Structure 1
Amino acid sequence: MADAKRAAHKEAVEKADGRIECAPPGQDRFAYSCAIDIVESQDGLFLTLRHPDGGFRRLLVTRDGRGVTAADGAEHAQVTTLAPDLIEVAIGGARYRLPATVRQSTPAK
């Protein structure tokens, strides 16, 4: 990432004020426009990702290294690793960039 692009990204993160980078359905570009609610329950850690238009998605953080899965509904969450500390989740036409601890796969013996 070029220095100017890195600086612009850092500034956007600082101004996000608790928001995550997302591209809601119908949007091509990412912006820090989605709110995130995090709730821990006996069933696990749930993330509710709220769109600016009031729509939302609920995700369940997995413990098996996959990242997240859809917490409800029939749509599958597709997770892509972008960096060791960042994943992109695509579900229902929306895309979200979330901080994550990406586990390295271990070679088979």
Structure 2
Amino acid sequence: MAHCAVVDGLSRGALALLPFLALVACSGGEPQAPATAAGADHVACAVSGADNLADVCAVERDEVDGKLMLVVHHPDGAFRRFEVLTDGRGVAVADGADEAVTALRDGSLDVTVGTDRYVFPAKVRPMQDATGEPDVQRTDALQSDAN
């Protein structure tokens, strides 16, 4: 009943403003980014300096001028483009000033660019070095078993 007494005590002008005040109160604050980027294929990532990796970045594959390109979409809408290298180094940043630092770990390619980190699946294939011997330090990263 106390609720009715408060409403009864408000002027008609104040009552007319209540729906608008409710909307303002509900829409305050920053819009929240989705928890996971939209897309079919996802990789683990930690973006914007996050500490923990999670499978929340979507990966889009495309071929441009005969080169395999990856576009990694972050949950907040940002994205990063990579060129898949064929010399065994993994990937390189396709645009931007930062370079990719890569490391092969447990069948995955760990890529750090600035404050962002991504973990891509990688297939390790021995390649021949200059002497014709297998060089297990080189890999063909991000190639599917179908290739």
Q: Which consecutive unaligned segments of at least 5 residues does structure 2 have?
A: 1-39, 132-147
1:70 to 82, 88, 93: 93
* Structure 2 equivalent of residue 29 of structure 1: 52
Q: Which consecutive unaligned segments of at least 5 residues does structure 1 have?
A: 1-16
* Structure 1 equivalent of residue 65 of structure 2: 42
Aligned-pair Cα RMSD in Å: 2.0
Distance 1:89 1:71 in 2: 13
Distance 2:126 2:97 in 1: 29
Distance 2:85 2:130 in 1: 22
The alignment partner of 2:123 has SS state of coil
1:90 to 112, 131, 141: 112
Letter of the structure 2 residue corresponding to residue 66 of structure 1: R
Q: Which has the higher strand share?
A: 1
Distance of aligned partners of 1:37 and 1:106 in 2 relative to their CA distance in 1, 3 Å threshold: same
- CA shift at 1:108, angstroms? 6.2
Letter of the structure 2 residue corresponding to residue 28 of structure 1: D
How many pairs were matched up? 93
Percent sequence identity is 40
| TM-score normalised by length of structure 2 | 0.57
Distance 1:104 1:74 in 2: 31
Q: Which has the higher contact order (CA 8 A, sep 6+)?
A: 1
Distance 2:66 2:92 in 1: 13
Quick check: 2:85–2:92 contact (8 Å CA) kept in 1? yes
Structure label with greater radius of gyration: 2
